[in-house]
Every structure is written in C-alpha cells, then in structure tokens.
Amino acid sequence: MENLIALLVAAPLLGAAVLLCGGRRLDRVGHLLGTLLAAASFVIGVVLFADMLGKNADDRTFTQHLFSWIPVEGFQADVSFQLDQLSMTFVLLITGVGSLIHIYSIGYMEHDERRRRFFGYLNLFLAAMLLLVLADNYLLLYVGWEGVGLASYLLIGFWQHKPSAATAAKKAFLVNRVGDMGLSIAVMLMFTTFGTFAFGPVLKSAEEHLGGGATLTGIALMLLLAACGKSAQVPLQSWLGDAMEGPTPVSALIHAATMVTAGVYLIVRSGAVFNASPDAQLVVVVVGAVTLLFGAIVGCAKDDIKKALAGSTMSQIGYMVLAAGLGPIGYVFAIMHLVTHGFFKAGLFLGAGSVMHGMNDEVDMRKYGALRKYMPVTFVTFGLGYLAIIGFPGLSGFFSKDKIIEAAFAKGGTEGWILGSVALLGAAITAYYMTRVMIMTFFGEKRWQPDGEGHEPHPHESPKSMTIPMIVLAVGSVFAGGFFSIGDRFLHWLEPVTEHSHGNAPISATTVTAATMVVLVVGAGLAYLQYGRRPVPVVAPRGSLLTRAARRDLLQDDFNHVVLVRGGEHLTRSLVYVDHTLVDGVVNGTAASVGGLSGRLRKLQNGYARSYAVSMFGGAALIVAATLLMRAV
C-alpha cells in the first residue's frame, strides 16, 4: 500500500510532462488527460485513506523511500515520502478540490487557445503541492515549495499578453523569494544544528530543546517568514491581491484553497520547533491577528469581486496562522479551518468565475446587481459559501471559526483576551464584507453597462462542467464543518500527529458562540443597511480616509515602495559601485590574464605533426626523469 504514495505525485507529474512537452497534437485531448490524471491522483488518495482508516491511530504513518540523492558522509538527501493523518488531510483536499477545479476549467478555459498548457501547469502545481505535503524531510519539502511557487508564477501570468498579469506574476515571484529565503535559511540552520533534514529527528531534537533556545527561535522565525511569503501574511501579503490577475480557477485552487495554506502546513508540521520557542509563537499569533484584520479591512473596500475575496482569503488564513501560533491548543483547529475554508473559498471563487463568465469578464461589483435571477445555480452555491464563511450556525465555517475564537480565548491571560477580541472583531468584519459582496452581486437592481465596444452583457448560467464542481463544493461548505465537529471526529483523527491540549478558557464555549452570533448579526446588518436599503452607486464614492486607504490595500505598495524599493535601490547602487570598481577589477583582471595565457598557449598548437612529436618526446623524457627523481628522493 505504501508504494502507492509515489504514484500520487507521479500521476500529475506525468500529466505535466506530457502536456507541456507533447506539443500541439495534444491540443484536443490535453484538458481531458490533465483532468483524468488529477482524478487518478484523487482516487489513489482515497484508496490510501481507506487503508489508513483500517489501521490503529498509532500506526497510520506510511513511509516510502524512493532513493537517496548522493549521500555524503553526514549529508543525507532522501527522496522519501511520509503519509500521516496530516498529509492525508492535505492530499484529499488538494486532489479533491484540484480535480473539481480541473473539471471546472474545461468549461472556463474552453475558448482559450492555450488551454493545453494551462492544464499542464495545473498538473505541475498538483504534483509540486503533493510533493510539499508528502515529503518526509525539509529538503524535499523545499523542492515542492519552490515547485508550487513556480506553478503559481506561471499561472498568475498565464495571460501574459496583459501587462498587468505579467507584472502581478513577477510581483508574486519576487515577494515569495523573500519567504523562500527564510525557508532555505531555516533548512540550513536545521542541518547545522541537528545534522539532518528529516522531520522525525529534527522535531524530536526540537522537543528535547537541543541546539539552544536562540537557535530554535531563529529556526522558527525563519519558518514563519517562509509561511508569511507563501500564505500572504503581513508583512509579505502584498502579492495576493495582484495574483487575482490569473484565471479564476487558478485563484480558486492555488490562491484560496491550497497553495496559500502551505504556510499553515509548515507551521503545524514544525509544531515541535514552535512549541520549544514561546517567543516565536508570540510572533506567529501577532502576525496572524494583524493579517486577520488587515485582510478583512481590505476586503471591505474592494469593488473588484476577486480582490474582495482575496482580502477575505488573507484574513481567513490569518485565523489559521493565529490558531497555529497558539500551539497544541490550536493546531487541530487551524487545519480544520483550512479544510473547510478550502471548500467554501474555492466555491466562492468558482462562483465569482461563473459570474465573470456570464458578464463578459467584468469584475467590478458595482456593475453587477440582481444576478440571482439570471444565474440561479451560481446564486445558490455562492450563497451557501457565503453563509459558510460568515459562520452561519450549522454550516462549515461556524464550527471551524468558532473553535479558533474559543482557542484564542483559551490562550489565557491578557494575551488570550486580546487575541479572542481580535478574532471576534474579525468575524464581524467578515460578515460585513461578505454580505456586501453578496448584495452587490446578486441583489438590488441591475447596473450593467455596455463594455468599451458596445456589447451589453447577457448574463447566463454557466455550463454543467462549471456548475457541478460548484455544487459539490457547496455541499462541502455546508456539511464538512458539522461532520468534522460532531463527536470531535477531526480532533481524534489529527491528534496523534499534532497533539492537542485544551488550554484554560476564561469564558465558556457557549458564551463565545453567543458573542460570535451577535457580531455576525451586527456585521451583516450594517452591510445590509449600507448596501441593501439604498441603490449602490455605479461610480464609487470618494469615501472616508480609511476606505481610501483600504482601497489601496492599506498603502502596502506605497510602504513597500518607499521602504524597500527606494532603500533597496540605494543599497544596490552602492553595491554596484563596489562591484564595478573592486570586484569587477579583480574578476576582469583574472579573466584577462587567463585569456592572455590561453592565447599564448594556443600558439603551441601550430598544426605541425613534428612539433607535436617533439612535445610528446619532451613529455616522455620529463615523466621518465620525474619518476626516476621520485625514487631518488
């Protein structure tokens, strides 16, 4: 059974190779092949899952060793996989949602002439993401980490003819480099401290506090930096909004459901390292809490439906990071929210894509309105996703978010109160901005306008290949949370890997739930008053200072420009100066002297066999003499 693990990665990898190298003759079947291989990976995942369920909770860890890449004394770079409950959860999420989005893309990308390449990239992404979660050591995880970064870059810039898409891809790539740097430093630190990359020994050493507190904190902070890059957490959040330039299925799969949650995976997987460093954990919860509010505020001001959802993604991942930073109190709930979020956010994005599909690719919600009549399926599925994300009682988000808020309070002390309040405030803002999106898109009067070429949009329901994945995801959005929570199923499933403790809650769970309900009603009500009771202006009003700042992503790009770009330019200029005068002088001097030597030696090769023979004779005499000399010495 263990031998199937490699197939999980191999199937989409094969798809990527075939689709990207196969050339135009695969254009007609490429999308089907890609979807089939994604589905194959899902089926393998389900088979492994069934097998895992049949075992005791303690021996549910499967490993498969493929090969070692040049083992040198003390340096063991293994290509081997580890499938435990945590990886299994991700495998099912990635391949399940991934397969649905492949199906959706068949319809969504139907008229794109580069569709085969699109599916090739999607398969590449699946393979890399599966490698990331299945690796049994940090080095292999790093390979997957870079792989998803590459796939994300390629897919954001998929419509590279649009300068905005090309720029967005570059931005995502550059910002992610900062995080990747953190991961590589963390991996190197681990190797120098513990002498290995493998999860088992590294985490065990961290549990025993080997290597000293400062080093462990350093490793943990570098891991956090990596997580911030990949999961768009403050301060490396700026790329996610622009990443919405990619095709919508990409936004749903990579920038909502799976890849952006890799940071959460990294933190939870490295739990022992964080547990050993309370300082680092404090930084993690601060990052989570700040991002939670940051994303939510940005989400309130955006008129672009995808960017509003992107802000929401950032904010929801903030919840997960917050939970992960709480330590054993929160790990399980971080992952549980990650899974339910995967369902409803992917569903919301697919719904947004369906709306855009019917509206000539219009993304401005101010030019939507009243679409519920024209797109009933989209309306219902999107609506269920909406109810799930705001935490409507009984739906997925209700269970998973509530647990995180409870866990935040359970942290204890002032810290617990602050974190709990921030999480509650976040829930209120979530209700506000999601209600706003819902009302502006599906309710009110229609505000459509002809586009630049005079085409009036004719909103219509999307084809089956698009609606069916939306329906499936909507079902998940409704029931997943309840299924996981009743009888603490998810808790028992994941506990052997992540451990769990209850903390000491200052207020009872019922109180927290009640408070959550109150803020939900307040948030949604506020949005209704503002957008439901009066017509939405087609041109955005000027708005308050906060609104204007939020529209500009709370000035993140201005900040980056002033601090990083300007500062960076100064730094580069001085470095370039040093490089030109000092380094280049040495390098060019060396190169010139080697080149000059080369020119002179080359003259020895004059083409005459007699000269060659003399050279050989001289050489022979020399080695004879040298051999004799060696004996004499």
Interacting residue ranges for other proteins, rule: CB under 8 A: 67-72, 79, 591, 594-595, 597-599, 601-602, 604-605, 607, 609, 611-613, 615-616, 618-620, 622-624, 626-628, 630-631
Alpha helices by DSSP H, listed for 326-447, are 331-358, 376-390, 396-410, 413-442
> C-beta of 604: minimal distance to other proteins in Å?
8
CB of 77 to other proteins, least distance (A): 10
Peptide bond preceding 235: is omega within 30 degrees of 0, i.e. cis? yes
Cβ distance to other proteins smaller for residue 504 or 593: 593
Give CA–CA dist 105/458, Å, rounded: 21
As measured in angstroms, the least distance from the Cβ of 600 to other proteins is 9
Type and span of the H or E element at 62: strand 62-68
| Distant-in-sequence, close-in-space partners of 535: CB < 8 Å, separation ≥ 6 | 444, 445
Partners of 246 in the β-ladder:
none
Q: How far is the CB of 174 from other proteins (least distance, A)?
A: 22
Q: Are 375 and 357 in contact (CB under 8 A)?
A: no
For residue 45, what are its two tokens? 């995942």
CB of 621 to other proteins, least distance (A): 9
Comparison of 376 and 585: residue with beta carbon closer to other proteins: 585
Which residue lies nearer to other proteins by CB, 14 or 491?
A: 14
> What does the alpha-carbon distance between residue 345 and residue 399 come to, in Å, rounded to a whole number?
15
**CA atoms of 174 and 171, how far apart (whole Å):** 5
Cα–Cα distance, 43 to 207 (Å, whole number): 36
In angstroms, what is the minimal distance from the CB of 611 to other proteins? 7
Check the CA dihedral 204-210-213-214 and report its sign.
negative
> Is 70 or 545 the residue whose CB approaches other proteins more closely?
70
What are residue 79's DSSP bridge partners? 67
Q: Least distance from C-beta 603 to other proteins, angstroms?
A: 10
Nearest to 313 by CA among 234, 255, 381, 263: 255
CB 244 within 8 A of CB 171: no
Closer by beta carbon to other proteins, 193 or else 196 = 196
DSSP character for 82?
E
Please report how close the Cβ of residue 464 comes to other proteins at its closest, in angstroms: 39
Q: Which is nearer to other proteins, 53 or 624 (CB)?
A: 624
Are 393 and 517 in contact, with CB atoms under 8 Å apart? yes
111 versus 631: smaller Cβ distance to other proteins: 631
Q: Facing residues of 72 across strands?
A: 75
* Percent composition of the chain: helix, strand, coil (DSSP 3-state, to 5): 75, 5, 20
The residue among 577 and 617 lying less far from other proteins, judged by its C-beta, is: 617
* Closer of 521 and 592 to other proteins (Cβ): 592
The per-type count for the chain, helices as H runs and strands as E runs, is 26, 2
Q: How far is the CB of 74 from other proteins (least distance, A)?
A: 13
- Tell the burial category of 542 from Cβ atoms under 10 Å away from its Cβ (0-12, 13-18, 19+): exposed
Residue 581 or 598: the one with the smaller Cβ distance to other proteins is: 598
Beta-carbon count within 10 A of 488 CB: 12
Structure tokens at 21: 């190298």
How near is the Cβ of 632 to other proteins at its closest, in Å? 10
Closer to other proteins by Cβ: residue 563 or 628: 628
Burial class (CB in 10 A: 0-12, 13-18, 19+), 599: exposed
Could you identify the residue written with the tokens 């000269």? Answer: 611
For the bound state, the minimum distance from the C-beta of residue 626 to other proteins, rounded and expressed in Å, comes to 5
Closest CB to other proteins among 29 and 616? 616
Can you tell me the distance from the alpha carbon of 136 to that of 64, in angstroms, rounded to the nearest whole number?
A: 9
CB of 363 to other proteins, least distance (A): 35
Q: Is 69 helix (H, G, I), strand (E, B) or coil?
A: coil
CB of 425 to other proteins, least distance (A): 49
CB atoms within 10 A of CB 385: 32
> Which one, 539 or 629, has the nearer CB to other proteins?
629
Instruction: Let me know the angle formed at the C-alpha of 43 by 39 and 46, rounded to the nearest 5 degrees.
Output: 135
